Amino acid sequence: MQARIIISLNIVLLLCCNVRSWTRELPATSTQTGDSLSVKVGETVLITRSQGYCWFPNVRRLSTGELFLTLGMGPDTTDPEANLGGTSAFCISTDGGKTWSHRILEGMLFAAADLNPRRDGSLMGLGFQILPSSPGETKVFEATLTVISDHALVITHRRGIRVTFPEAIASSRIESNRGGKITEMPNMVFAGSILPSQDGGLLASMYGNFRGDKLYRTILVKSGDKGKTWSYLSTIAQAAERWPGMGDEGPCEPGLTRLADGRLFCIMRTGSDGLMYQTWSTDDGKTWEKPTSSGAKGVAPQLRLMTNGVLACSYGRPGPVTLMFSRDGTGRTWSNLTPIFKEMSTRYTGLLEVAPHRLLIVYDHVPYGWKPIPKEDKQSFDEIYGTFVNVD
């Protein structure tokens, strides 16, 4: 994705393709050592493939043990009609990511989801796009909430989720590629994580533009009624002017987590070729430190605080799919940059600790980049892989 506010995931027909052997370069087993940290890249598994679109993976875990991997099944486009009718898919693993189910089509699932499993075995997510609650409304919007439950056998969608902002949200008039135009679409989307707040509520990250913003800002919204309504809590990061080394978009695509000491930590994309910036909150998201550079360039960073206290971050672009680590678990400094996949990829990733000290990073391989596989090419596939990494 190119951090546009409007994307789509259209339906593709090729759901199940014959598996063939592949010869592309996959991560070799390797070890990187640093001060008191050893990172060993292990085996890679093929999760799913298609001769249609099959990309932008992410992965979460239910407390009942199932891994739930989501992926896009349509083009990355600014067509809002395609976005509203788009399709994603999911795969399930019941053995920690070693093997995966067939790909199952499902309407738009979620863009922000529980970072950690809920005790009741469910997984909650919020849809990417929000829409005005009434024609011409600029501060009150509606979203869709999805709950995965019963060992990932049941998926329920709830529409009419209310999201309220203190200022007007910017909008864009997008011309549909199906002809004609559609009403203006709001420039604010859910992305990243849902976390419990310290007072029993829920926190979720978003990014986009308030009216007058020249660049993206990343914000935090809060719910006190189990996700039925959300309201603006704070701006995590906003760039009134360019920060050193940042990209041309502003802070977006946030990775949000809670650290062991209770602080919130957020790392964000600033552009396709810009440094990721990061910030901390000591008051449960009400206020945030001035953002500082992480020192690494990347898109859509994913965070996992491991059981050994190490904070892991996956990202990519312009470089390869990469893991980096904060040994003290704070995100202040990063080390042990570990390349995972160097071939053509969107560089969007998902990250889980599937066992103590053992990570699973998921990513795509797209041989034609942002373009679809030509019909005359019967040998190539878009593919989703998972690589296991041990961190001690």
pTM: 0.91
Distance CA 216, CA 188 (A): 9
Q: Please state the length of the chain.
A: 392
Q: What is the mean pLDDT of the chain?
A: 90
Q: What is the pLDDT of residues 10-57, one digit of tens each?
A: 323 233 333 333 335 566 556 666 568 999 999 999 999 999 999 999
Choice among 88-102, 112-126, 180-194, 333-347 with the minimum mean pLDDT: 180-194
Q: Mean of the pLDDT values across residues 272-286?
A: 97
Res. 165: pLDDT tops 80: yes
**Closest Cα partner for 173 from 182, 165, 163, 164?**
182
For the beta carbon of residue 41, count every other beta carbon within 10 angstroms: 21
The one-letter amino acid code at 391 reads: V
Q: What is the pLDDT of residues 98-151, one digit of tens each?
A: 999 999 998 778 999 999 999 999 999 999 989 999 999 999 999 999 999 999
pLDDT at 36: 81
Distance CA 193, CA 115 (A): 6
Q: Mean of the pLDDT values across residues 199-215?
A: 97
Task: Kindly give, in sequence order, each residue whose CB lies less than 8 Å from that of residue 279, ignoring residues fewer than 6 positions away.
Answer: 236, 237, 265, 266, 288, 289, 290, 291, 292
pLDDT at 26: 64
